[in-house]
Amino acid sequence: MASVLVVEDDQFVRSALIRHLTEASHTVRSVGTALEALREVAHFRFDVVILDLGLPDLDGAEALKMLRGITDVPVIIATARDDESEIVRLLNDGADDYLTKPFSVEHLSARMAAVLRRARGAGNEAPPPSVLRVGGLAIDPLRRQAELDGATLDLTRREFDLLAFLAGRPGVVVPRKELLAQVWQQSYGDDQTIDVHLSWLRRKLGETAARPRYLHTLRGVGVKLQPPAPEQPA
């Protein structure tokens, strides 16, 4: 059972979500505007927020940024928009998952379960090593800080999770399915989500897919992180 905040201005959709979640034994509160949502998370503890983007007072994307300023509660975006670049931007702005309307209650339940497993499992994991080092990379999982050759890397939450997961297995080819399961907490998904995050991560590491230094993609197999080969003398 989870405590859920539904942020949805469409009364029909809102009622359907409340009914389904209540029947699934979840505790549900609901609001129809972004400002009401901000007040709710400031005064009550929730396990997950289901956030619509088309709110009457504030676009959901802006509401997400404001929510992230005051809470780390997992947020699932519920949207009728299917623009891939916007969805990727929302994930990088702090959304934990998204669903494109219309969606089934079974699909919502599966996504909620995955997000809640990740959130609850984080508190039960053994402490990771203090600092992971791969070549010039230094990743501190506890402080959630990463450096390259002594310079701090400005990473999004998902970029850091991806880099830290690969750094914990240096030189090992990690299948994409495992990345989805461990980093995104999804048993299935679109490989393009991984590709987009790898592309942005490469940019911050000063490399490209054509000329990799740390991140190496093996087509059809997976991804590995390994230190760059030493330069050969001229």
Tens digit of pLDDT for each residue in 34-74?
Answer: 999 999 988 888 999 999 988 999 888 888 988 888 888 89
What's the mean pLDDT when you consider all of the chain? 85
C-alpha separations of 175 from 19, 111, 206, 219 in Å: 39, 21, 23, 10
pLDDT > 70: what percent of the chain?
A: 91
Q: What is the pLDDT of residues 135-185, one digit of tens each?
A: 999 999 878 899 999 999 999 888 999 999 999 888 888 888 888 888 887
pLDDT at 4: 93
42 close to 70: Cβ distance less than 8 angstroms: yes
pLDDT at 148: 95
159 close to 139: Cβ distance less than 8 angstroms: no
Distance CA 205, CA 131 (A): 18
Write down all domains in the chain, each with its CATH number in brackets. Answer: 3-121 (3.40.50.2300), 132-225 (1.10.10.10)
- Cα torsion 71, 76, 77, 79 to 10°: value is -150
- The model's pTM is 0.54
Q: How many beta carbons lie within 10 A of that of residue 106, not counting itself?
A: 9
